[in-house]
Amino acid sequence: MPRATSPDRADRSQRRTSLQQERSRATKRMLVQAAMALWRTNGYSSTTVADICTAAGVSKALFYFYFPRKEDVLFEVGVLSTRSARRTADVLLARQYQVMPVIAAALADLERSMARNPPELIIATILEGYRYEHRILAGNEPLEDGEAAEGGMFTALFDRAKRDGKLPAHVDVTHLAYLAHTLVSEGARHWAAGAFGDRSFAEVVGADIETLLAGVSRERT
């Protein structure tokens, strides 16, 4: 009969697991930060995996443990930017809110993040995000549990707004969030290419999403 695990032993095991996970996240962040610094200085296409490893002080084996390809670091950069914008939205959802001001704040957060990077890097990040999505749809890329739980940039907002009566009951939240995310991605790509002129990313994309919401609100089941 197997011996029961003592509470102390289970607690120590849990602490070790938590510490290992934190170290893993720290290493991953370090690699992303090293890559970002090099990309901002030397450009994305001119930076190799070896350059990133040298800057981070790690081996190639460790790099490939976390990122099978250089492009996967690029995708992680996009994830971090989107996650920051989503946190901004979550803070506003903790109090009395209106949908469009929450969207505007999230878009402004994303714009500040993008403004720190060269246009080439922003465009490359968007295109890698599309390739990643296509690999998932083709069954060539597993969707991690964390990604599934987080959802899109505005999924939580639209779900909350529907429950609060700020969006009509007939709205398909998942599809609406996907459409809004597409507007954000395409908007970022065009903004980085200079297509918006003097208008800000948040201004143009915010107006696009507002038009989208007005359209779905007029639909009838």
pLDDT tens digits for range 73-102: 988 888 888 899 999 999 999 999 999 999
**Architecture of the 1-67 domain:** Orthogonal Bundle (1.10)
The confidence score (pLDDT) of residue 22 equals 72
d(CA 94, CA 87): 11
Residue range 69-218, CATH number: 1.10.357
- Residues contacting residue 98 through CB under 8 Å, at least 6 positions apart: 166
The confidence score (pLDDT) of residue 145 equals 45
The confidence score (pLDDT) of residue 76 equals 87
Give buried/exposed letters for 79-103 (b at 16+ CB in 10 A, else e).
bebbeebbebbeebeeeebebeebb
Contact 167, 158 (CB under 8 A): yes
Residue (of 18, 43, 154, 34) closest to 97 by Cα position = 154
Sites in the chain below the pLDDT cut of 70:
1-21, 140-151, 219-221
pLDDT by residue (tens digit) across 32-42?
A: 999 999 998 99
The confidence score (pLDDT) of residue 21 equals 67
Q: Is the pTM of this model over 0.75?
A: yes
**What would you measure as the largest C-alpha separation in the chain, in angstroms?**
73
Q: Provide the residue ranges of all domains of the chain, joining segments of one domain with +.
A: 1-67, 69-218
The confidence score (pLDDT) of residue 129 equals 86
